[in-house]
Amino acid sequence: MPHQQRADGTFANPVVPGFHPDPSICRVGADYYLACSSFEYFPGVPLFHSRDLVHWRQIGNVLDRPEQVRLPASMPSSGGIYAPTLRHHDGRFWLIVTNCSEGGGNLIVTATDPAGPWSDPVPAPGVPGIDPDLAWDEDGTCWCTVAGVSQVRIDPSTGRTYGTPHALWSGGPGAKAPEAPHLYRIGEYWYLLIAEGGTERGHGVSIARGPSPRGPFEPCPANPILTHRGTDHPVQNTGHADLVQAPDDTWWMVFLGVRPGGGTPGWHVLGRETFLAPVTWKDGWPVVGEVALEASAPGWPLHPGPDEESRDDFDRTGLRPAWISVRDRPAEHYSTEKRPGWLTLRARGGSLDEPDVVFAGRRQQDLRCRARTLIDASQGRGGLAVRLDERHHYEIEASATDVRVIARVGSLNTVVASRPLPEGPAVLRVDITEPPAPHDARTGPDALTFGIEEPDGAFTALTTLDGRYLSTEVAGGFTGRVIGLFAAEGTVHFDWFDHEPLTS
């Protein structure tokens, strides 16, 4: 991807936009790799590559085979795959992660090439809790530190632990939810980086240091070293961070944050995204630089903006890495070969209300955007959806004879608009735009307009829906919007899918 330089050297945050939370990063030579949580979606743990920390390209998913991860229908949305830690040690990539579903637990996978294939999982039943971290000391001993914050010695090649977990440092007095621990040897100290305050508006990052991986740890006097709690900063919920050193010896932090919109209390709809900030050191402690949607970093390139693969014509075997499905993706229900050049979906669950719905989507990455698809629903019923979970989704659904817009908000499920559909394939579309004016304290974050494109290219809008009901502040949970294609009955074919940001 070409670097798009700016005279002032600024770059745009977030560097990995959309629902990409809990970032973990490592560098090997000139290459950076970053992994994120994926929760109920399959394949799990998206993996990105960069040469400059700003331009990221998804090169695969770590858990991309059914035998690597089981996400049962009984598992609720926002369950599943939590908080990976990605590290490189002794010539291999190591990733430890938690499967928060029945029969899950902590597991370790390895690879020599981060693009895959990754190994079958090694269970680590002796590792308690979530948010596991791996760190090796000078003699090769590996330590696993988890939310809480506690630590146990582990053999990562077998998953066997030694001894019982012992408590370390759990953040500031009274701070809730000490989690996301990462342990580093930097200079003469071992540093323990954690998140605390909960993953909502009170989220923050704190750090302590000690003489060994086991401590004892003294807290930084300037803790929290990163938080936007109680401010009007446009990036909120900042936390769950990881540190990386660049080849030029500069330091950087990746972390999650959200971009709330609308009135009070503010609604974030894209989920928790990955942001980047510079780090300097003072008196042996890290100091996090300014976090802004346009952050300054002399000599660094501008974020490239729209995904270079914004259109998919389904002309390759299988789906690109950015496509995700709900809990699983059985081959008999998803195909790009049954009708070459089309994505064919064969229904299983009856609707997006069902945990086993046949759905393939892309994370919404722009606050204002448009998504379209050409659908052939002559043999079934399906369409284009914006999904947050089973109880919060909007969709435009076509059959052989008509098209309708459905809104599911909590216990309410209703058809809000419908019209006959001419025979043959149709273009379905959703525009996500600014909410209607005038704005006040009750204004939602955005508006979603669903409709069809007529044969002459004109757009016929069927309805506009308030976006606040597809937000975390309404629905709860840990995920963000995913825009995609689904089959609710029979067999449905999609010729192409495209999405683009809207600037006005």
Prediction pTM value? 0.95
Which is catalytic among the residues 40, 64, 133, 179?
Answer: 179
pLDDT one-digit tens code per residue, 271-327: 999 999 999 999 999 999 988 776 655 444 444 443 457 899 999 999 999 999 999
Cα distance between residue 168 and residue 145, in whole Å: 9
Separation of CA 168 from chain center:
29
DSSP state of 439: P
Tell me which residue of 401, 456, 454, 462 sits closest to 431, measured CA to CA.
462
Q: What is the CATH number of domain 311-501?
A: 2.60.120.200
User: Could you confirm whether 102 is annotated as catalytic?
Assistant: no
pLDDT at 308 (0 to 100): 54
Q: 20-220 with 311-501: one CATH topology? A: no
- What's the token pair of residue 397? 């659904």
What per-residue confidence (pLDDT) applies to 8?
52
CB environment 458-476: b (16+ within 10 A), e (fewer): eeeebbbbbbbbbbbbbbe
Render pLDDT for 195-220 as a digit per residue (tens, 0 to 9).
999 999 999 999 999 999 999 999 99
Give pLDDT, residue 4: 32
Q: pLDDT tens digits, the chain, 504 residues: what are they?
A: 223 334 455 678 999 999 999 999 999 999 999 999 999 999 999 999 999 999 999 999 999 999 999 999 999 999 999 999 999 999 999 999 999 998 899 999 999 999 999 999 999 999 999 999 999 999 999 999 999 999 999 999 999 999 999 999 999 888 899 999 999 999 999 999 999 999 999 999 999 999 999 999 999 999 999 999 999 999 999 999 999 999 999 999 999 999 999 999 999 999 999 999 999 999 999 999 988 776 655 444 444 443 457 899 999 999 999 999 999 999 999 999 999 999 999 999 889 999 999 999 999 999 999 999 999 999 999 999 999 999 999 999 999 999 999 999 999 999 999 999 988 899 999 999 999 999 999 999 999 999 999 888 899 999 999 999 999 999 999 999 999 999 999 999 999 999 999 986
| CB contact at 8 A, 496 and 312 | yes
Alpha carbons 206 and 95: distance in angstroms, whole number: 23
Q: In the 8-state DSSP scheme, what is residue 42?
A: E
Could you state, in order of their start, the residue ranges of all structural domains in the chain? 20-220, 311-501
> CB under 8 Å to 410, separation ≥6 — which residues?
391, 392
The predicted structure's pLDDT at residue 342 = 98
Active site residue 179: yes
Residue 494 near residue 339, CB atoms below 8 Å: no
Q: 187-202 burial, b if ≥16 CB within 10 A, otherwise e?
A: eebbbbbbbbbbbebb
CATH superfamily of 20-220: Glycosyl hydrolase domain; family 43 (2.115.10.20)
Residue 152 is predicted with a pLDDT of: 98
